[in-house]
Amino acid sequence: MSEHQRDLAGYGPEPPRAAWPGGARVAVSLVLNYEEGGERNVLDGDAASEGYLHEVVGAPPVVGGRDLNAESMFAYGARAGFWRVHRTVAAYGVPLTVYAVGRALERNPAAARAMGAAGWEVAGHGWRWTDYRDVPEDEERADIARTVAAVGRLVGRRPVGWYTGRTSPATRRLVAEEGGFLYDSDDYSDDLPFYVEAAGRPHLVVPYGLDTNDFKFLIVHGFTTAGDMLAYLVDAFDALHAEGADRPRMMSVGLHGRIIGRPGRIRALDGFLRHVAQRGGAWVATREQIARHWLATHPPRL
């Protein structure tokens, strides 16, 4: 099935039995989006400043100039928020996947080293944190290669997963053609991994989630307090946990250093990890681990 076709049927009423390790009811995937330093900025040749996902919701970009307030909000994610998330996750001893923007990693090599030392999976998230919808195909292909090289150099291991977020029509095919990826996560349409056809062969998609994502703190009618996000994450996990008695599912939790890494929000992550540990029945895994399990347990039909 081409990635350009819509599939509204999916697995239907009988999804495959995930058979997660240890008989887990839910595979929980924590994802930290590392973007700070890769956002739009005229210093990097952009026409305007970044206007998306910072604390002044709805503020227009500064055309032809810098928005120093927005820049410092992004800088918080790299300077302070990342480390707060790092400490919280380390306290629970659980793995995490990073969606890493290549240019952002280059600007904070200490964070890149910490990701590698922690044993986190670092997946590609574009060379810059930009919308690739209108980027020429050759440029996007070059950015994928450049990101792969940066992750390998700074973290110590090339990425095997990919998430652009704001994709072009060519993104999935380019990722498949690159040849070194196990999966991409540019999809939100299921609670389990699935296969599509890309570059003429089966390609694994490990879907992501935007409802269980801290970006909702920075959109209208989203989360306001840490309690809002914590309640939603717990409700989502408990619903999947109940369904998982018969058909195990997967849950993604999206994080950003500049968002969840704020003191008034970190309790949502801490409280959720505590709930998961107390409830039991979860396999907290990287997306690479989930992908490798799925490829082995439910290989594509050639």
Is 280 part of any domain? Answer: yes
pLDDT of 206 strictly over 50? yes
Determine the pLDDT at residue 251: 98
C-alpha–C-alpha distance, residues 39 and 47, integer Å: 12
Is 216 part of any domain? Answer: yes
Determine the pLDDT at residue 2: 47
Query: What CATH number does the domain containing 31 carry?
Result: 3.20.20.370
- The confidence band for 224, taking pLDDT boundaries of 50, 70 and 90, is very high
User: Mean pLDDT across the stretch 64-93?
Assistant: 98
Determine the pLDDT at residue 4: 65
Is 121 part of any domain? Answer: yes
Is 222 part of any domain? Answer: yes
Of the chain, the percentage scoring pLDDT greater than 90 comes to 96
Q: What is the pLDDT of residues 9-44, one digit of tens each?
A: 999 999 999 999 999 999 999 999 999 999 999 999
Q: What is the pLDDT of residues 230-287, one digit of tens each?
A: 999 999 999 999 999 999 999 999 999 999 999 999 999 999 999 999 999 999 999 9
Determine the pLDDT at residue 1: 42
Domain that holds residue 116: 21-297
User: Mean pLDDT across the stretch 210-220?
Assistant: 97
Is 14 part of any domain? Answer: no
In total, how many domains does the chain have? 1
Q: What is the pLDDT of residues 62-72, one digit of tens each?
A: 999 999 999 99
- How much is the mean pLDDT over the chain? 96
Q: Answer whether 42's CB lies under 8 Å from 64's CB.
A: yes
Is 218 part of any domain? Answer: yes
pLDDT of 301 strictly over 90? no
- The confidence band for 150, taking pLDDT boundaries of 50, 70 and 90, is very high
> What is the distance in angstroms between the CA of the first residue and the CA of the last residue of the chain?
12
Determine the pLDDT at residue 81: 98
- The confidence band for 94, taking pLDDT boundaries of 50, 70 and 90, is very high
Q: Mapped to the 3 state alphabet, what secondary structure does the chain carry? A: CECCCCCCCCCCCCCCCCCCHHHCCEEEEEEEEECCCCCCCHHHCCCECCCCCCCCCCCCCCECCCCHHHHHHHHHHHHHHHHHHHHHHHHHCCCCEEEECHHHHHCCHHHHHHHHHCCCEEEECCCCCCCCCCCCHHHHHHHHHHHHHHHHHHHCCCCCEECCCCCCCCHHHHHHHHCCCCEECCCCCCCCCEEEEECCEEEEECCCCCCCEHHHHHCCCCCCCHHHHHHHHHHHHHHHHHHCCCCCEEEEEEEECCCCCCCCCHHHHHHHHHHHHHHCCEEECCHHHHHHHHHHHCCCCC
Is 287 part of any domain? Answer: yes
Is 7 part of any domain? Answer: no
pTM, to two decimals:
0.96
Determine the pLDDT at residue 148: 98
Which amino acid makes up residue 140?
E
pLDDT of 219 strictly over 50? yes
pLDDT of 199 strictly over 60? yes
